[in-house]
A and B are shown apart, each in its own frame.
Chain A
Amino acid sequence: MNKLNNTQGLNIPENYLVTPAYVFFLIHSMQVGVGILGFEKYLVEKAGFDAWISVLIAGGILHIILWMMYRLLQNGGGDIVQIHNSIFGKYIGGLLSLLFCAYYTLLAFTVIITFIEVIKVWVFPGLQVWVFAFVLIWLVYYLVSGGFRVITGICLISVIIGLPILLLKFFPVEAGHTMNIYPMISHDLTDILGATKQSILSFIGLEFLLIYYPFIKQPEKSKKWAHFGIFYTTMLYLISVLVTFVYYSEEQLKQVVWGTISAWKIVEFPFIERFEFVGIAMWLYVILPNICLGLWGATRIPKRVFKIKQKYVVITFCIALYFPAVLLDGRPVIDMVNNLSGQLGTYVLMYIPVLLVLKMISDKVRKRS
């Protein structure tokens, strides 16, 4: 029995597990990525300055989906691959799991190219992408090869280092106009719901729980931490949105691609100006968990489905990610990839309730027979 579990890769030795509280960092750091640098613009396009309500609604929906995921995982006895296999059988289930793998890879890829784009736009217009992407992906490989514990550590560090960046929000508030937010609720429900869908895009990332769930020690205790994580993200987004609304006017915001970075520009200390350079450099810490966890999750699925060594899969994926990351260029393409991964993200989130229903039905049928 033990041996069987080992070949499936589900029986994880205790020293590779993480304590429940880390789920907070895992969920939160995966949600916050490049999106937060410029997501306000997309919300404003839909619902104007009422978009902050959409953020709250989106956060609420995410809590419900998280609850469903825990229901699914607690009864499923393992991760998404196990659940897929038990519902759909080996082949269709395996195929669906591989779709998840593709989606995770896409997420990691989106973050890589968006970050490179930000650097090209804001810091080095003449960046030699092939060198930079190589070093970045090598760094990611180094971290991912350390295993899940190292990635969790990076998530933790990222949240800690992300905290001071948050304080910078104070500067735009100082320079802004609080009256911008009024009049409240001037848009109708459809607009607000439209913006909700947009803001869900910046919340995606919690579906990685489906793959790292077996790595949590006493997983039932991690529930509250996961909810804390989502709550924290919601609050962070709410603050970001409000600060941006206070700082920009509605028309102006529609023209700005990277709202947060533009707002950093006004940060001034006696010894330092133009804080966006520091901000972007620190942003590396915030996006690295995205890439690492994305790649780790993506490469763990083939390991679980085909029972091959994850090391080789990671190397293959790194090489596979490198070339498109170097070749893809230009705002339209990157926008397209972002939209695509966002769309897929919403589908994945919508797929979870379906999966839960299917799982409950299959459990019932099995019980009866």
Chain B
Amino acid sequence: MWKWKRKEKQQQPQQQEKKKQNGTLSEFIQAMQESEDFVHYNLSGSTRCTISYLKTMCDSQVLNRSVLSTLNQKSLPTLRDMQESIPVENVRVTSKLDLIEEKVMYGYIMIQLHEKDEEVVLVPAISLESRNVSIPEVEFSVVGPKEAFVETMNTNINLIRKRLPLPQLTIKEMNVGKVTKTRVAVIYIDGIVNQDNVDTVQQRLKGIEVDQLTDSSFITQIIADNSNSPFPQLLDTERPDRVVSNLVEGKVAILIDGSPHALTCPTTVVEFFGASDDYFLPWHLATAFRLIRLFAVIFSVLSTPLYVAVLTYHHEMIPAALMATIVSSRSDIPFPPILEVIVLELTIELLREAGARLPTKIGQTIGIVGGIVIGTAAVDAGLTSNVLLIIVALSALASFTTPIYQIGNTIRLIRFPFLIGAQLWGLIGVSMCMVYFIGHLIKLQSIGRPFFEPLYPLRIKDLKDAFIRLPFNKQTERPVLMRTEDPQRMNQSRVNAKRDIDE
């Protein structure tokens, strides 16, 4: 019985394909004429032909200056003549219907000799509306390059290529999305990258079954090894310089047309806490800032759960001197610590959500009103304690120190399970939650490579650029994680060649 069903399923796509093949050019033109912006008319100058194009997608300069002027000046009896005479690059003659359909939709001009002809000339006249390359807003850095990706893929590839003038820089393109047919490019440096990683990425991209693909975050969620995890398993960045340095390390980058973010993989959890600033500063400073950032993240996740745990169950742990401060600040509060914390945390989340949705100028006002006015009022009214207000505000601040926005969201949310753990079993509950997340991180993979990498599997070599960043002359090898084909970045002996005094 099931076999019969399966057969039916198999037959359906075949039928659809047949239909597509059976369609003719005139049917296509008819379908297109339903739209107002499709222009289709006969030219009756020195050359007699039929021109069709989408006026919203075509560059009228190309049409008027190159195509129409050429056709009107000379008499061009065949399509080949037109191909040779029209002064536009890459003009082609074809009768393949699906190619014609695709190209016309992207803004090519189609020229037929007679309306019923199947063979046409396609003139590229795509007008690309795109935003100018601007400074990065999410991953801003004070020093270093100030270019960020935009929504047009060609511009983005240009931003990468101009930093990597290498013939080995390979770009593989495909279309993903049943309806949107979005262009997706896989970028890597041949000879450095491990071919397995490229194959895995390409395979997963080809296997995607969606109707629409409007942003790179769709891809992050769909091709992730574990799509139920709160941790993003592909690193998304808007900085071309970051992508380039990742490519040179042997990673694979994915660009999606229409998205100002590139994805790089395989990645590790530690990488989400590294900013590009880390490479623009001397290594000891960079290391110190990276450690501060890491501490901030731990503080952000653990501070309020620890507050709840200690105040609910383990008051004995607070030294007598500190106890006085906490007691005096909490003496008027009618709620248990957990309620107090949840109310304040939710308030902060509310402020963040509101701040993110509102236009920048109003957002600032809301931040001030929410942060200062509500905060002080809540303390004055005796709803929350001063100490907690400080802790919550600090932990909110600390969660913004992550350079990658996606992981910031994760950090924002994972403190709530910790809060529940703290309320249930105090410190033991917190550490149980921690074990759960560590176990989860150990289980996670990014494109088949371990996500928790320099920690587990413990790779001392990769620790050189994880929590600390050693100077460049110590980093002569590419990370082990990617299993690159060429693990040597540079000649180690030449980098570390010692010079004698006065030489």
Contact = CB atoms under 8 A, between A and B. Distances in A.
A67 interface: no
Interface stretch (B132-140, B229-237, B451-459, B485-493): B451-459
Contact of A156 (B426, B428, B443, B456): B456
B129 interface: no
Could you tell me the dominant secondary structure of chain A's interface residues? helix
A288 B458 contact: no
Given A119-B428, A123-B426, A281-B431, A273 B318 contact: yes
A131 to B, nearest CB: 8
A277 interface: yes
B455 to A, nearest CB: 8
A284 B428 contact: yes
A280 B425 CA distance: 12
A131 B452 CA distance: 30
Contact of A270 (B316, B319, B424): B319
Contacts of A270: 319
Interface string B409-435: 000000000000000111110111001
A272 B321 CA distance: 11
B319 A281 contact: no
B319 A273 contact: yes
Given A123-B426, A277-B427, A154 B318 contact: no
A96 interface: no
Nearest to A273: B319
B472 interface: no
Interface string A266-297: 00101111110110111011001000000000
Interface string B300-324: 0000000000000110111100100
Contacts of B318: 272-273
Interface string A113-156: 00000010001100100011001100100110010011011101
Interface string A17-33: 01101000000000000
A318 to B, nearest CB: 15
A320 B163 CA distance: 61
Contact of A139 (B313, B319, B426, B435): B435
Given A123-B428, A278-B427, A281-B428, A142 B314 contact: no
A41 B159 CA distance: 69
A152 B435 CA distance: 14
Could you tell me the dominant secondary structure of chain B's interface residues? helix
B292 interface: no
A157 interface: yes
A288 B427 CA distance: 16
A157 B317 contact: no
B428 A154 contact: no
Contact of B435 (A119, A124, A288): A288
Nearest to B458: A156
Given A123-B428, A282-B431, A284-B432, A150 B319 contact: no
A127 B424 CA distance: 10
B436 A153 contact: no
Contacts of B438: 153-154, 157
A235 B314 CA distance: 33
A142 B436 contact: yes
Contacts of B425: 119, 123-124, 127, 132
Contact of B443 (A127, A150, A274, A285): A150
B43 interface: no
Nearest to A136: B432
A296 to B, nearest CB: 13
A275 B316 CA distance: 10
A157 B440 CA distance: 13
A277 B426 contact: yes
A274 B428 contact: no
Given A153-B452, A157-B456, A277-B427, A285 B435 contact: yes
Contact of A153 (B319, B431, B432, B456): B456
B442 interface: yes
A19 B427 contact: no
Given A142-B436, A271-B322, A273-B318, A150 B442 contact: yes
Query: Which one of B314, B428, B456, B458 has the highest number of Cβ atoms from chain A below 10 Å of its Cβ?
Result: B428
A234 B435 CA distance: 27
Contacts of B45: none
Interface of A: 18-19, 21, 119, 123-124, 127, 131-132, 135-136, 139, 142-143, 146, 149-150, 152-154, 156-157, 268, 270-275, 277-278, 280-282, 284-285, 288
Given A123-B425, A146-B442, A273-B316, 7 more contacts: A119-B425, A153-B442, A156-B456, A272-B319, A277-B317, A277-B426, A281-B427
